[in-house]
Amino acid sequence: MMNVSRFLKNVILIELFVPVLLLTVGIYHGLMQVIYRSGVIHKASVAKLDYYQGLTLHGVINAIVLTTFFAVAFGHATIAFYLKKEPGKKATLLSLLLMVIGTLMAAAAMLSGKASVLYTFYPPLKAHPAFYIGTAMLIVGSWVAFWDWVVVYIRWKKENREINTPLAVIGTLVNFTIWFVCTLAVAYEVLILLVPWSMGWTAGVNVMLARTLFWFFGHALVYFWLLPAYIMFYTMLPKLAGGKLYSGMAGRIAFFMFLLFSIPIGVHHQFGDPSIGRGIKLSQSILTFAVAIPSFITAFTIAASLEHASYMRGGKGLYKWIWKLPFFRKDVYLFGYLINGLILFIFGGLTGLVNASYSLNNVVHNTSFIPGHFHLTVAGPVFLAILGMSVFLVSQLTGRKIYMPTINTIIPYLWTVGVLIFSAGLMWGGLMGEPRRTNMGLTYLDPANELYHPYWVISSMLGLAGGGIMFVAGFLYFIVFFGTFLRKRTAEPMIDLPVSESLHPEKRIPIFDTFKPWVALMVLILLMAYIPAISDALNNTTKKAPPYKPSDPTPVVVK
């Protein structure tokens, strides 16, 4: 248990409140996407919000704004709780201001319809400069928080040289090291390529270079989303289940393996890009399979930890022990959020191997299979960990009890059912060639249109059914979150994270308690993976592209 200063408490609460408030817009547009795509609406816009404008809001708010704010808030809580040292006030305040102002700038551009460039903001789709500058400010704000934590960690380590760094701190610093390195590429893309182009200072942009820089960032972003959930899996889930962590060392190995392999695999998103050579694509495919190893380590370690917890509760048998776990207990509701995330991630990881394969990827590339897959990961362990921990932190930092605790316990299970139905529909449709991103209500699922495609009706309706269930679960979450925030205080504000003890005593092994050799190896692998890819992007591209709108196949005329 740790009593936190009023300043840090307020910062963490703001960093939770702002993205959750924006999430109401993100989830609404998520529902609208499945309604459009199912053919229920045969329009390009509803309530003066265009389909692609809503798609951009949904992706950017859910995948960039929410995850970045939460990762910083959770990082503040983790560093302060485990190291017993609060981050510096000036750096923390500067970080918060940059993130909030940047988010508001980007949101204003999207809401005004001047930044309908989707979550990937691929050129030649062109946004207002405020979108690019605001996104850059959000990223820089998170950097400020990270470097301040590094200072806190170095001070703590000088005082505790022979003590193992807490696993949660290792995970947090690994996560933000990945984030800092991968965002350097997207910062270059935004500030050097896109902002001058958006302002009209340059006439065209190298699309292939921009895409390559984005995916240097874009796939590592997935692990930036995931690692807070992994920290919870290792350091909290065994405790919540009533047992101990089977191996803390396995967690350290997994985190450092993510540091090595999570960034240099972004080119597997570009298997369809002709400018990237086949040899580079082959090496990227192999590296992508390598990043599955720490996930397998985690799966076996956490499964063993949960089995041990069940036996402590009286569980028996090869499979019956599972039912002794506290699935619906209101006092350990975090268990429900985390275990459902793990269940969804099993399917997300397996379908991700399809994307990693060069040959199989060609079958599903740019089909609805892709969002079906990544909703199993982003809307699975990532989103459920964020929902559960945000309610947990708000309750502790305000000293207020959970509002509607029974509903809070049901939310992750309802959400899981929705995601499974939604993703099954999208992946089934993708295997039949159903496109992603497209407003199918205007074409393929409009019976009056010559492009009407009846084979996609059932799969898109499954997507609609699953999306509807997810929307209901999200609506219930907002009731619980804001209801908890508005209740009367019944206890002193604090941070008291559930801490899982290791099942076996583990000696300190210096190489798994230091960052320098791992960072050096990461840089080496990155250079080997990306120098050839960037070289191809520069040398195999001829004309620079003029700007386009997502709803129009002709270039915008620059006056």
Per-residue pLDDT of the chain in tens (559 residues, 90 and over written 9):
778 899 999 999 999 999 999 999 999 999 999 999 999 999 988 888 899 999 999 999 998 999 999 999 999 999 999 999 999 999 999 999 999 999 999 999 999 989 999 888 888 889 999 999 999 999 999 999 999 999 999 999 999 988 999 999 999 999 999 999 999 999 999 999 999 988 888 888 888 889 899 988 988 888 999 999 999 999 999 999 999 999 999 999 999 999 999 888 888 787 877 788 888 888 888 888 888 899 899 999 999 999 999 988 888 888 888 889 999 999 999 999 999 999 999 898 888 888 878 788 888 888 999 999 989 988 899 999 999 999 999 999 999 999 999 999 999 999 999 999 999 999 999 999 999 989 999 999 999 999 999 999 999 999 999 999 999 999 999 999 999 999 988 888 899 999 999 988 888 899 999 999 999 999 999 998 888 888 888 887 666 667 767 766 677 765 5
Told to judge if 219 belongs to the known catalytic residues of this protein, a careful annotator would answer: yes
Told to judge if 268 belongs to the known catalytic residues of this protein, a careful annotator would answer: no
Told to judge if 374 belongs to the known catalytic residues of this protein, a careful annotator would answer: yes
pLDDT of residue 505: 85
Alpha-carbon span 27 to 32, nearest angstrom = 9
Catalytic residue among 42, 365, 436, 487: 436
367 lies in some domain = no
35 lies in some domain = yes
467 lies in some domain = no
CA geometry: angle 358, 359, 364, nearest 5 deg: 95
* Nearest of 495, 338, 342, 388 to residue 20 by alpha carbon: 388
Alpha-carbon span 425 to 200, nearest angstrom = 42
Q: Which helix (H) or strand (E) holds 50?
A: strand 49-50
Told to judge if 223 belongs to the known catalytic residues of this protein, a careful annotator would answer: yes
pLDDT of residue 533: 85
Q: Which helix (H) or strand (E) holds 46?
A: strand 45-46
For residue 125, the SS3 value is strand
pLDDT of residue 558: 53
143 lies in some domain = yes
Phi (first) and psi of residue 308, to 5 degrees: -60, -45
CA geometry: angle 118, 122, 124, nearest 5 deg: 115
Give the pTM: 0.93
Kindly tell me the burial class for residue 406, based on how many C-beta atoms sit within 10 Å of its own C-beta (0-12, 13-18, 19 or more). exposed
* Nearest of 181, 72, 53, 44 to residue 115 by alpha carbon: 53
Catalytic residue among 214, 216, 223, 347: 223
Told to judge if 373 belongs to the known catalytic residues of this protein, a careful annotator would answer: yes
Q: Which helix (H) or strand (E) holds 49?
A: strand 49-50
493 lies in some domain = no
Told to judge if 453 belongs to the known catalytic residues of this protein, a careful annotator would answer: no
Cα four-point dihedral sign 404, 409, 414, 419: positive
Catalytic residue among 437, 444, 485, 530: 437
Domain interval for residue 17: 1-163
Alpha-carbon span 458 to 378, nearest angstrom = 24
Answer for the pair 137, 94: CB distance below 8 angstroms, yes or no.
no
Total domains in the chain come to 1
64 lies in some domain = yes
3-state helix vs strand vs coil in the chain, percent to 5: 70, 5, 25
Q: Let me know how long the chain is.
A: 559
Catalytic residue among 219, 268, 269, 400: 219
Catalytic residue among 37, 76, 268, 373: 373
Per-residue tokens: 251 = 């967690």
Catalytic residue among 375, 392, 453, 471: 375
Alpha-carbon span 469 to 418, nearest angstrom = 5
Cα R_g (the chain), whole angstroms = 23
Told to judge if 76 belongs to the known catalytic residues of this protein, a careful annotator would answer: no
58 lies in some domain = yes
Answer for the pair 69, 19: CB distance below 8 angstroms, yes or no.
yes
127 lies in some domain = yes
pLDDT of residue 542: 63
pLDDT of residue 553: 65
Alpha-carbon span 85 to 418, nearest angstrom = 41
